[in-house]
Structure 1
């Protein structure tokens, strides 16, 4: 199986890349990034600052499945428009291109609390991408909805770090769905979902990824 992995340098994406490259079920892992990744057997790393411009090349590798772990914050992106571009426009555009190229299996990471009617830009955008990715028509679609994600990030997110500390302290009394979801567990769920490729839309909730 050839896997197209989006967001390979992020917290979940980097774990997913590691698992995919270690799994002989994947003959090739196509991972577009802005900066070069460390060379690895079976890794095809297309480098470019504009992901949309790479789409024709990405599809020329004829991937069998796509995992989308793209995600940022408004603070890191620099504006509401830039945040929406990464978290909504890119997944939908690449999803449509992949489907048109014959890809039948797609998995994406969104967030617990995602809702297209949310007052929060973050959760509303996540909800909109959930809604619209279902309209594309993949034979097998998996939507992972984690709570706060545990793991070492390359960039500092102070508010998130404080929330993670609080959740760890409160874990004994909190419902399971509010527990921290380790990035490695989310990555494993994504890998399993594209290998099994169950027909229809499958939702993986936070309480299933602890």
Structure 2
């Protein structure tokens, strides 16, 4: 498939999925303030109330969708790059099947629809340790998604692999709070890949990958995000 984006295009139309999460909100903030970004499509399951001041932003379009019944017919699929920050927790998902649907099936479906419309670039917020053969279900899910995305045919594909993500979530996660507190204390003496990865740095790496669109497949590991 050939790209529908001119090689000399510097202004980008972005599709952001997962816009209501910790990293997704930071991607949204950075993208809307970036002069290279001319529009952001952020499909969501319900009205985008987390951005009351942005609902009328001239760059933003936030269509309400059912991710279980995505359709590729809407014209908003025609973008220059996808940034995917979709993800849930086992506690919220309540089962491995539901978790796999959100963290694997939805991002992959978005990738296929976007590519069908000629989108050449995809940047994924993955995870450190992503491996399709991992004995850990979480890492195995992320690894299977990365493996599947390699087969979709994007000209530029970037996997950003953070470790523990730093930032203020809307929901309370006890385990993350404890781990973050411990890492904050010991951070200066730890190897960079084990340190906390701030959400703003992860978002910056995703947005940079979407805007620069380096040819081929690339990995940004946690050490680069510390």
Report the TM range for the smaller structure's normalisation: over 0.9
Runs of 4+ aligned structure 1 residues displaced above 6 Å come to none
Q: Does 1:88 align with 2:104?
A: yes
Aligned to 2:3: none
SS of alignment partner, residue 143 of structure 1: strand
- Residues 155-166 of structure 1 correspond to what in structure 2 (within 5 A)? 155-166=171-182
- Alignment partner of 1:150 out of 154, 166, 179: 166
TM-score (norm 1): 0.95
Deviation of 1:36 after TM superposition, in Å, equals 1.6
Say which structure is richer in helix. 1
Aligned to 1:11: 22
Aligned partners of 1:107 and 1:141 also within 8 Å: yes
Give the Cα–Cα distance (whole angstroms) in 2 for the partners of residues 182 and 98 of structure 1.
28
- Alignment partner of 2:93 out of 73, 77, 95: 77
* Structure 2 residue ranges without an equivalent (≥5): 1-11
SS of alignment partner, residue 201 of structure 1: strand
Give the Cα–Cα distance (whole angstroms) in 2 for the partners of residues 59 and 76 of structure 1.
32
- Closer/same/farther in 2, CA of residues 61 and 122 from structure 1, 3 Å limit: closer
- Residues 43-62 of structure 1 correspond to what in structure 2 (within 5 A)? 43-48=60-65, 50-56=66-72, 58-62=74-78
- Alignment partner of 1:24 out of 35, 48, 67: 35
- RMSD of Structure 2 on Structure 1 (CA): 1.3
Q: Does 1:66 align with 2:77?
A: no
Tell me how many residue pairs correspond in the alignment.
209
Aligned partners of 1:30 and 1:58 also within 8 Å: no
SS of alignment partner, residue 35 of structure 2: coil
TM-score (norm 2): 0.89
* Structure 1 residue ranges without an equivalent (≥5): none
Deviation of 1:64 after TM superposition, in Å, equals 1.0
Deviation of 1:58 after TM superposition, in Å, equals 4.9
Write the deviation string for residues 154-175 of structure 1: whole angstroms up to 9, x where unpaired: 1111111111111111112211
